[in-house]
């Protein structure tokens, strides 16, 4: 079994818990996830099974969209409702217009510091492990990009929002820094991930739904097959000689190719100059490799080979 499963994660489970459940349901060990969700968060998590786990680099940098709730009044050590208060509680809150202006300051490219309780690593150790042991460590900020950070409702002390951001953005940090910016303290009280790249929460399944469908031998209802993934990349159909060559990672020349199929919206010639990847398929329609075109030759170099025989 190879492909992706879009899971609607419930509150209380870690991303690893979801991986464990998927392993149990399908009796398969080769399972991983694209993008961590905190236990208090709900929503979309993309699970890879089998050979699809090898495509992690292509999904790990996808933009994400969330909706959620920020509670003004006090900050916490985890930057969310699971933590302990770190500031005195306040009962006066900023006006709607002031909050909207503050949210605008977090749009575009920003330099963001991760929460002290996070999976971000310092000298090989996750920050949450060091924080729990009261170990000293450096919180290293990094650049992230926020496409929009919008208010959907405001009933002080609660702010409901929607945000579209780059991979690596911590919504907990946005909430915490909002509180600092407005001098009233704040933390993330609710969060739901509704989109990862072009994958949507509305197309996801609960763990119970997946369990039932699997028992009824209806895996195809929720599994996105390997052959349907990365569909924005041009598709190369290889002949038998090409398949034999690609299985050993050898260079593929025009004589080994039957057809190249590309999305008409993609400028393939321009994309090749930018290092575009190509999907390689067998005559039977099996996804066998990813390759790049050589800059100075009319040939392709496979860099990730997926042998369909295994």
CATH code of the domain in which 274 resides: 2.30.130.10
Residue 307 annotated as catalytic: no
Whether residue 125 is contained in a domain is answered as yes
- More confident of the two residues 13 and 275: 13
**Per-residue pLDDT tens over the stretch 132-190:** 545 554 567 789 999 999 999 999 999 999 999 999 899 999 999 999 999 999 999 99
Q: Are residues 176 and 298 in the same domain?
A: no
What confidence score (pLDDT) does residue 275 get?
Answer: 58
Q: Are residues 238 and 223 in the same domain?
A: no
Q: Are residues 68 and 189 in the same domain?
A: yes
The dihedral built from the CA positions of residue 114, 120, 122 and 128, taken in this order, carries a sign that is: positive
Percent of the chain past pLDDT 90, that is, above it, reads: 67
Q: Are residues 84 and 134 in the same domain?
A: yes
What confidence score (pLDDT) does residue 130 get?
Answer: 42
Q: Are residues 206 and 285 in the same domain?
A: no
For the chain, the straight-line distance linking the first and the last C-alpha, in angstroms and rounded, comes to 11
Q: Which domain holds residue 203?
A: 3-61+199-227
Q: Are residues 40 and 131 in the same domain?
A: no
**Per-residue pLDDT tens over the stretch 8-27:** 999 999 999 999 999 999 99
pLDDT at 6 over 50: yes
Q: Are residues 99 and 173 in the same domain?
A: yes
Q: Are residues 221 and 290 in the same domain?
A: no
What confidence score (pLDDT) does residue 132 get?
Answer: 53
Q: What is the number of structural domains in the chain? A: 3
- More confident of the two residues 84 and 118: 84
Query: pLDDT-derived band of residue 274, with 50, 70 and 90 as boundaries?
Result: very low
Q: Are residues 93 and 149 in the same domain?
A: yes
The Cα 32–Cα 93 span in angstroms is: 42
Q: What's the average model confidence in pLDDT over 257-278? A: 66
pLDDT at 269 over 80: no
Whether residue 310 is contained in a domain is answered as no
Domain boundary among 212, 227, 242: 227
Catalytic residue among 2, 17, 38, 263: 38
Q: Are residues 183 and 71 in the same domain?
A: yes
Q: What's the average model confidence in pLDDT over 101-105? A: 96
Q: Are residues 168 and 287 in the same domain?
A: no
Core vs surface per residue 179-205: b (16+ CB within 10 A) or e: bebbebbbbbbbbbbbbbbebebeebb
DSSP 8-state symbol, 252: B
Whether residue 181 is contained in a domain is answered as yes
């Amino acid at each position: 079994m190879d492909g992706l499963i879009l899971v609607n994660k419930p509150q209380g489970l870690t991303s690893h818990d979801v991986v464990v459940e998927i392993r149990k349901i399908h009796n398969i060990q080769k399972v991983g996830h694209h993008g961590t969700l905190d236990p208090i968060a709900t929503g979309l998590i993309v699970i890879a099974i089998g050979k699809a786990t090898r495509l992690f680099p292509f999904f790990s940098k996808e933009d994400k969209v969330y909706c959620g709730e920020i509670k003004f009044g006090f900050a916490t050590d985890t930057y969310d409702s699971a933590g302990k208060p770190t500031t005195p509680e306040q009962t006066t809150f900023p006006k709607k217009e002031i909050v909207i202006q503050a949210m605008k300051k977090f749009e575009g490219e920003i330099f963001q510091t991760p929460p002290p309780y996070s999976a971000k690593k310092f000298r090989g150790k996750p920050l949450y492990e060091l924080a729990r042991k009261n170990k000293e460590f450096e919180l290293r900020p990094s650049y992230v990009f926020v496409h929009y950070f919008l208010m959907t409702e405001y009933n002080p002390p609660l702010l409901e929002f929607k945000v579209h951001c780059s991979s690596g953005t911590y919504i907990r940090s946005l909430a915490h820094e909002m509180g600092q910016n407005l001098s009233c303290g704040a933390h993330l009280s609710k969060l739901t991930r509704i989109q990862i790249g072009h994958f949507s929460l509305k197309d996801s399944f609960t763990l119970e739904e997946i369990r039932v469908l699997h028992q009824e031998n209806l895996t195809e209802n929720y599994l996105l097959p390997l052959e349907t993934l990365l569909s924005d990349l041009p598709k190369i159909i290889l002949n038998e000689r090409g398949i034999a060559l690609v299985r050993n990672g050898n260079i593929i020349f025009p004589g080994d190719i039957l057809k190249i199929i590309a999305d008409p919206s993609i400028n393939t010639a321009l994309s090749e100059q930018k290092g575009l990847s190509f999907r390689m398929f067998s005559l039977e329609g099996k996804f066998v490799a990813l390759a790049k075109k050589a800059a100075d030759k009319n040939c392709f170099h496979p860099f990730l080979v997926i042998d369909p025989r295994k």
